[in-house]
Amino acid sequence: MRNGTISSGIVGSGVREGPQDCAFAPCGSSDRYRAADALLLESPDAGPREKQQVATELTPDQKRQLFRDGYIVIRNAVPQELVDRGRARIAAAKKGESLAQAEALTDLVNKSSVTPILNEAMGQFDPPSMVHVGVTKQSAPRDHFTPLGYREKDLPYFGHGMHAEGLFTVAPPQERVTGTHEEIYQRMIASGPRGDIGRTADVIGSNTDPLFQDPDMTLSVGSFTAFCIVALNDQTVEGVGQTAVVPGGHRVLEAFYRWQLETSGKVGPEGPGWPRFDYNAPNGAGHIYLPDAVQEKLIALDDEAPECTPDGRAWPRPTQIKMEPGDCAITIFQMPHTGTRNEFGTESRKNMIFRIRNKSRQPDKVVTGVSDHPDRGMMGEWLEYEDGNDPWARSKRALTNMWEEWEGMQQVVAEETPKLDPIDYSHVA
């Protein structure tokens, strides 16, 4: 999910060097930063990071942190040798070359402790065969309109673009659009790769996400189970392009999805309380990546007053995920997230991003590691499902019961859930 190129599900088809990549990740920032109790099992003579042995499962305390915050950072999850190989492969890439299937990058998960940690905490999943290569060059604040409909330089928090994952996105108009709301809506959805085919579930965005996942147009959120982000450069100082999150925001978004489903049977944009576009944004056609009711509750999670855009609108304050090379951030799918501007970095931000789905959701479907809408093909193709298998119902269930697919978290979930205050959306019109 803060972006010049926000994309809830961009294919990891190469070395992405947009102003800000939509990379998702989690960990902390300055005073709000909470080290994830580095999963290290140190030998008596442990020295450099590459000599430290990494644990292969989360401790009960770390599972409680994951439950509470929605994300955790695993220190030294990837050995230095794999980090070096990954960096070398990126450096050797030719102009325009796709690294989506580069083994040196998929090995960051497939040949590291990330796999056994996820297997124990979440369950079985397809070994990633592809990766979203999230490279963000250093840049100053820019004047272009982002998909939120605001100029990048005007958005707080290094180019805020907080969003839910799995949403339809098209290129933002770079001049203010005019027309009725319906006229603007139709022009926007017709600007994707398939052109003007009307309002149907066959429409896909420039990020390849379908306008609706299902033929009946009741689900407009693609989904999976976990994000996994491996850092290949130093991201320990704020403002170098980190992915950022709102700790605890996963509960806020899940509760909204559940309220939508219980209210109407619909989940996502164009369901209750969630318009698709913001016609009051400065460019007249901003994407609404999080509904107002969710943003208000995200803002309320923070003791500090939120920062605003020039029009006076307040935005949730994200926590930047600070990592060193070889660290891995794991987050639950429902976490609102954003990329950030690499304003102060001395090199490109390099996050290798994997989208992981528990195999139990659809055992006969292979998830490659890049798609955020695996119930459909990468370009929105319709997949075949056996009789009695309703993929949209299964995904709605997963969106509104987020811990069910985390098999190794069930004891913690059972212990901690009764302690939580309910999140209420009954006031939403």
The length of the chain in residues reads 429
Query: Which pLDDT score is estimated for 206?
Result: 97
Query: Which pLDDT score is estimated for 6?
Result: 27
User: Closest Cα to residue 105, out of 350, 373, 345, 379?
Assistant: 350
- End-to-end CA separation in angstroms for the chain: 26
Residue that the structure tokens 């098999």 belong to: 407
- CA dist., res. 95 & res. 104, Å (int): 18
Query: Which pLDDT score is estimated for 428?
Result: 95
- Phi/psi region, residue 397 (left: phi>0; alpha: psi -120 to 50; beta: rest), is alpha
- Angle (CA) 5-325-227 rounded to 5° is 50
Query: Which pLDDT score is estimated for 429?
Result: 79
Query: Which pLDDT score is estimated for 33?
Result: 28
Q: Are 27 and 328 in contact (CB under 8 A)?
A: no
DSSP strand E in 5-77: where? 15-16, 40-41, 53-54, 71-74
User: Closest Cα to residue 338, out of 11, 19, 13, 41?
Assistant: 19
Helix residue ranges per DSSP H, 145-265? 156-159, 181-189, 249-264
pLDDT tens digits, one per residue of 3-54: 322 222 222 333 333 434 443 332 333 332 222 333 433 322 334 444 456 6
Q: Is the dihedral of CA 225, 230, 234, 240 positive or negative?
A: negative
Residue that the structure tokens 């990549």 belong to: 21
Residues of the chain with pLDDT under 70: 1-54
Query: Which pLDDT score is estimated for 110?
Result: 98
pLDDT tens digits, one per residue of 300-353: 999 999 999 999 999 999 999 999 999 999 999 999 999 999 999 999 999 999
Residue 345 phi/psi, 5-degree rounding, is -70, 155
Query: Which pLDDT score is estimated for 10?
Result: 27
